[in-house]
Amino acid sequence: MTRFQCDVKGMLVGAAVWCSVFAIPVFAQPGAAPAAADKDILPTTTAAEVSRAVGGPTLVSLHFKDVPLRTVVDEMAKQAGIKLPTFPSFVWQQQLPAKVTIDIDRQPYWLAVRELSKSSKSALQMSQWENKPFWSMMQGDQIDGPQVSQDLFLIVANSMRRDLSYSVRFGSQPATEDTKSLQFSASAFADPKLRLIGYSMWMEVEKAVDEKGNSLKSKHASDPSYSMQSASAQTFVAGLTLPPNHGKRLATIKGYIRLLQAKKIVTWEIRNILNSQKLEKTITNDIGTTRYVLNDVRKAGDSYTVDITATTTPKEKPSPNQGFSSHPLQFGSISSAFMRLFDYEGKEFQLGGGGMRGDGNETNVTAGFSYNSFGEKTTIGEASKLVIEFPTELVELRVPFEFTDLPIP
């Protein structure tokens, strides 16, 4: 019987923190890729196929000379058809460059963002809160590094970390073992027109060799489990090994990242939410039928907590080797990341954290909401409507990458 518990109450600077039971099981060892479950548990598609389906990437043209940075940002958002608020509200009052010059024509959205970051020479970063992109003042260089542009995606190599571990084995044949390993990390940014509802944090590495021809590919398979939350801008990692007499450069690292798209979504809309308890909805997805029960909606000042229980009856009995996170819908498709709360005028509260715990096929999910105006002088009324989206049919999107000539620490 699988038991799990995960509570999130904290908040990162400029971004919400979500509990994600699908990413790392409670028994996973930190710092190493967990053993993989059965692969290809979902139908797959390619970045090229998705690009053809959506008509190619969002293209941006920016021709400005000596203008305020905010002017360029507003124009880029307009061309992309998205809203880009700032957080905190006084971002534009901070020490940003007085004037910006940029000249690009019909570039994919994230290549335009990267060029603007270089042109502005500021700490202005693209961040994400409750699946919504926004600009914030944050130190970091996630978008500044060796890049791979894949039409709808930009993948940027971030860092390589070297670890050395010592272990001693007791018993009739005692032994001491030194293990050297690398962790490679990269960030991936998806086109604004895509909606990605999940991802696997572990890259699938197909080839990794140094300049001497030594293979650095780990013998341990990557973990194909998924985190059910927005994946428009996320960081991915890969575990590598260091053989004896290894080289000083990573000549090639090649593989792909896994992202989730929903082919079908069922929506549950609940009005008069503060007076609606013990409502039920039954959803059938790829692996079974799940009964959802709205237990309670609690108000505390200007904040709200939603409590829901999901009980899943699988179509087939899981195999003993299937593992905790073998399918992203194993515990139903409930996640606080797919809940939205509104007042009577349609103004939306922001997700500020959540928790998930369960035993067997029953899962309890809580989600906390509050209001963030992103610096606008607006207020919000009492919560009135809860909207929950349930992905019922998923496809795995694989985005390839290849980087060359990276230094090994």
Closest CA to 399 of 16, 4, 44, 21: 44
Measured at the alpha carbon of residue 128, what is the angle toward residues 40 and 187, in degrees to the nearest 5? Answer: 50
Could you count the other beta carbons within 10 Å of the beta carbon of residue 382?
11
Q: What is the pLDDT of residues 128-156, one digit of tens each?
A: 544 455 555 444 456 778 999 888 999 99
Query: Among 305, 279, 275, 304, which Cα is nearest to 292's?
Result: 279
Are the C-beta atoms of 187 and 401 separated by less than 8 Å?
A: no
Give percent of the chain above pLDDT 90. 34
Domain edges within the chain: 3-21+264-393
The CA distance from 293 to 278, in Å, is 6
**Contact predicate 140/125, CB 8 Å:** yes
Q: Which residues pair with 342 in a beta bridge?
A: 348, 385
For 293-307, write each residue's pLDDT tens digit: 999 999 998 899 999
Residue pLDDT, tens place only, 72-127: 888 988 998 887 766 666 666 665 666 889 999 999 988 988 888 888 776 556 55
CATH of domain 3-21+264-393: 2.60.40
pLDDT digits (tens, 9 = 90+) for 331-341: 455 665 688 89
**SS3 label, residue 292:** strand
CA distances for 59 relative to 66, 104, 133, 192, 247, angstroms: 22, 10, 17, 10, 40
